[in-house]
Amino acid sequence: MTELKTGGAQGYLRIATEEAFITQGVLDAYMRLVAEGFDDPGFASLWGFYSSSPSARGVQIRDGLLSLGTKRLADMDAAGIDKGIIALTAPGTHVFQADEAKALTTDANDQLAEACRAHPDRFVGMTAIAPADPAWSAREIQRGADLGFKAVILNGHVNGEYTDHEKYFPIFEAAEALGTPIYLHPQGPSKGLIAPLLERGLDGAVYGFGVDTGLHLLRLIVTGVFDRFPNLKLIVGHGGEALPYWSYRLDYMHAAGVRSNRYEFLKPLKLGAISAYLKTNVFVTFSGMAFPPAIRFCKEVLGMERIMYAMDYPYQYEPDEVSAQDDMELSPEDKRAFFQTNAERIFNL
Ligand code: CA
């Protein structure tokens, strides 16, 4: 194994596309919600742990999230990461009432913009939004673009509501108009989904995140959000939240459901199959999924041009995974696309 270095000696730069941060303001507000017993079991499980756990993992995650400077840069250097595309961590400000959410979101975007200005070669930002106020969020997406951000972070459901509801469409409309992708990131499963996961400690990134986020993306597809916003670009992490692997059965059974009028609300989609949207509107990163067989599978199913590298800092800071992916069985051109050029094109860097 060669020493990991930035600068592209291996034939490509490494751009990590799903990296997280938090502001002290959001962290303090999470701690307040935890103390108040905020009624959201996914949030309570996630931030009840990460906001205060004295474990080595708890401390490392908080330190990493809070750093937009020295520590983050040193960790990126040690792992050979040239650029990090950084977003407010889950669940963002989705858990707050609109006024507090907007104030915290504005501040988070301002802080991230300042860090990106200070380290323009290393940091790229995503615009945080406050989906409790979709019209305001649409304006914040424009402000984010003006600040130089290259995507929008959507941290999953909004207090149990998924964003296929029409009231959230101003967010999609704004992103589509600007050509900026939306990164749909997991958070704890919604209240309606979480019970049997939580009962066995499976609600977090281990599985529940993927269940909730894959479901969220599927809902966006079958509701026709991409028919309404055909140029909307949506990015999901974790190898596509399992949907590529499921795509054959999704297509077959969705078509069968539509043909048989089983559900009055289930309408034919303009592109026909669910998988057609995965190949048209959706891009996939491999955050937390340093698994070459899955990467090669997604190449075959979605196309090499749709898949990207991510680390998932600080939640999965594993330099060994970077070297393992450097060494994976994939042509040099494909590796360059995976680590660098796809991200440059999709995020318009
Ligand atoms: Ca993440």
Give the model confidence (pLDDT) of 232-247 as tens digits.
999 999 999 999 999 9
Residue 84 three-state SS: strand
The pLDDT-based confidence of 1 (bands split at 50, 70, 90) is: low
Rg over alpha carbons for the chain, rounded to the nearest Å, is 19
Percent of the chain beyond pLDDT 70? 99
Distance 316 CA to ligand 1 centre (A): 8
Is the pLDDT confidence value at 19 over 70?
A: yes
Average pLDDT over residues 141-151: 98
Residue 347: per-residue pLDDT = 98
Report field, pTM of the whole predicted structure over 0.85: yes
Cα-to-centroid distance, 224 and ligand 1 (Å):
26
Q: In whole angstroms, what separates CA 194 from the centre of its chain?
A: 20
Angle (nearest 5°) at CA 312 between 311 and 313: 95
Tell me: the pLDDT tens digits for 297-346?
999 999 999 999 999 999 999 999 999 999 999 999 999 999 999 999 99
| Confidence class for position 2, pLDDT limits 50, 70, 90 | low
Q: Distance from the CA of 182 to the center of ligand 1, in angstroms?
A: 14
pLDDT for residue 289 is more than 80 = yes
- 3 pLDDT tier (thresholds 50, 70, 90): confident
Q: Please give the pLDDT value at position 236.
A: 98
Task: Evaluate if residue 91 carries a pLDDT over 80.
Answer: yes
Q: Could you tell me the distance, in angstroms and rounded to a whole number, from the CA of residue 16 to the centre of ligand 1?
A: 11
- Taking the centre of ligand 1 as the mean of its atom positions, its distance from the CA of residue 336, in whole angstroms, is 22
Selection from 129, 130, 50 nearest residue 98 by Cα: 130
pLDDT surpasses 60 at 151: yes
Query: pLDDT value at position 316?
Result: 97
Tens digits of per-residue pLDDT, 193-211? 999 999 999 999 999 999 9
Instruction: Report CA(90)–ligand 1 centroid distance (Å).
Output: 8
CA of 8 to the centre of ligand 1 (A): 24
Task: Please give the distance, rounded to the nearest whole angstrom, from the Cα atom of residue 269 to the centre of ligand 1.
Answer: 30
Report how far ligand 1's centroid is from the alpha carbon of 287 (Å): 7
Q: Average of pLDDT values for 225-234?
A: 98
Distance CA 157, CA 15 (A): 27
Distance (angstroms) between ligand 1 centre and the Cα of 288 equals 8
d(CA 309, CA 183): 14
Compute the mean pLDDT over every residue in the chain, rounded to the nearest whole number.
97
